[in-house]
C-alpha cells in the first residue's frame, strides 16, 4: 500500500461533528484527509464524496467553478444522511498545482476553455490520480459505496480498483454566469454527467 494513515482527531464543523483522518503518500509525502460522519463501520454502502482540492473555490469562494458549492452541498448531504465520508483529495487544479491553475485562469480570461488552458500549459486535460482515493477507502475498510459525483472517470477508476459503486448520486449545484462555460466544457469534453440519479 502506497499510503499510510498518520493521525485522526475530532473536527467540529458548521455541518456537524466529523472525525478527520490524515493520510500520507509514502513516496511523495503528499497529504490527503478523510472526513467521516457517523458510524460507517458495517453500514455499507457508504455515502461517499471524493472532493479534489480547489483553494480558489473551497476557501476563496470563487464563482468561476462549482467546487466550493459542491463541497458545501456534499457535507450537507452526508450529515443529513446521518453517515458518510468525504475524501479531500489534495491534487489542486486537476493536479497541475495552484500556480499553474492561476496561469490556466489567465488563458481562460483570454478565451480558452478549461481543457484548452491545461493543454496549452503542457498538461493533460485531467492529471488527477483517483486510485489514491480507492486506497484510502480500503484502508478505512470501505468497499461498497454510493458515490456523490458527476464525473464518470471517478466511477471508472474506483470500479477498476475493486470499489463497488452501487449508486451514483449527482451533485449538480452552483451554476452561474461566471462558470457556465466551465461547466459546459466539463460536460462536452470531459463527459461529466449533469443528469438524474443513476443506479450502476
29 has a pLDDT exceeding 90: yes
Predicted confidence at residue 17, as pLDDT, reads: 97
From the list 66, 113, 126, 135, the catalytic residue is 126
Q: Is 128 among the residues known to form the active site? A: yes
Predicted confidence at residue 44, as pLDDT, reads: 83
3-91+128-190: what fold? Rossmann fold (3.40.50)
- More reliable by pLDDT, 39 or 17: 17
Q: Over the chain, what is the mean pLDDT?
A: 94
Q: What is the mean pLDDT of residues 170-183?
A: 93
Q: How confident is the model at residue 200 (pLDDT cuts 50, 70, 90)?
A: very low
85 has a pLDDT exceeding 50: yes
Predicted confidence at residue 141, as pLDDT, reads: 94
- What predicted TM-score, i.e. pTM, was given to this entire model? 0.93
Q: How confident is the model at residue 40 (pLDDT cuts 50, 70, 90)?
A: confident
Starting at the edge strand found earlier in the chain, the sheet holding 84-89 runs 3-12, 17-25, 31-37, 84-89, 46-52, 144-148, 164-169, 198-199
Q: Is 197 among the residues known to form the active site? A: no
Q: Please tell me what DSSP assigns to residue 120.
A: H
From the list 128, 135, 146, 168, the catalytic residue is 128
Predicted confidence at residue 145, as pLDDT, reads: 97
Q: What is the mean pLDDT of residues 21-40?
A: 95
Which amino acids are annotated as binding site for Zn(2+), given as ranges?
A: 54, 65, 67
- Spans of all domains in the chain: 3-91+128-190
Do residues 34 and 140 make contact, with C-beta atoms less than 8 angstroms apart? yes
Which amino acids are annotated as binding site for GTP, given as ranges?
A: 49-53, 70, 92-94, 114, 149, 154
Q: What is the mean pLDDT of residues 37-52?
A: 90
Predicted confidence at residue 196, as pLDDT, reads: 54
Q: Over the stretch 122-144, which tens digit does the pLDDT of each residue have?
A: 999 999 999 999 999 999 999 99
Which amino acids are annotated as binding site, given as ranges?
A: 49-54, 65, 67, 70, 92-94, 114, 149, 154
Predicted confidence at residue 199, as pLDDT, reads: 41
Amino acid at each position: 500500500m502506497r499510503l499510510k494513515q498518520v493521525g485522526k482527531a475530532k473536527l467540529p464543523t458548521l455541518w456537524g461533528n466529523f472525525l478527520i483522518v490524515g493520510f500520507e503518500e509514502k513516496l511523495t509525502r503528499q497529504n490527503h484527509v478523510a472526513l467521516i460522519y457517523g458510524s460507517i463501520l458495517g453500514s455499507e454502502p457508504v455515502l461517499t464524496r471524493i472532493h479534489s482540492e480547489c483553494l480558489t473555490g473551497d476557501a476563496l469562494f470563487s464563482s468561476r467553478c462549482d467546487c466550493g458549492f459542491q463541497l458545501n452541498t456534499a457535507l450537507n448531504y452526508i450529515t443529513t444522511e446521518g453517515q458518510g465520508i468525504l475524501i479531500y483529495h489534495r491534487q489542486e487544479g486537476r493536479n497541475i498545482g495552484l500556480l499553474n491553475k492561476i496561469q490556466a485562469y489567465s488563458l481562460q480570461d483570454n478565451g480558452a476553455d478549461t481543457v484548452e488552458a491545461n493543454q496549452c500549459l503542457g498538461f493533460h486535460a485531467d492529471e488527477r490520480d483517483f486510485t489514491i482515493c480507492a486506497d484510502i477507502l480500503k484502508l478505512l475498510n470501505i468497499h461498497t459505496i454510493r458515490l456523490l459525483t458527476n464525473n464518470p472517470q471517478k466511477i471508472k477508476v474506483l470500479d477498476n480498483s475493486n470499489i463497488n459503486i452501487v449508486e451514483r448520486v449527482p451533485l449538480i449545484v452552483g451554476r452561474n454566469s461566471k462558470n457556465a462555460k466551465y461547466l459546459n466544457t466539463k460536460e462536452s469534453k470531459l463527459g461529466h454527467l449533469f443528469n438524474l440519479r443513476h443506479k450502476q
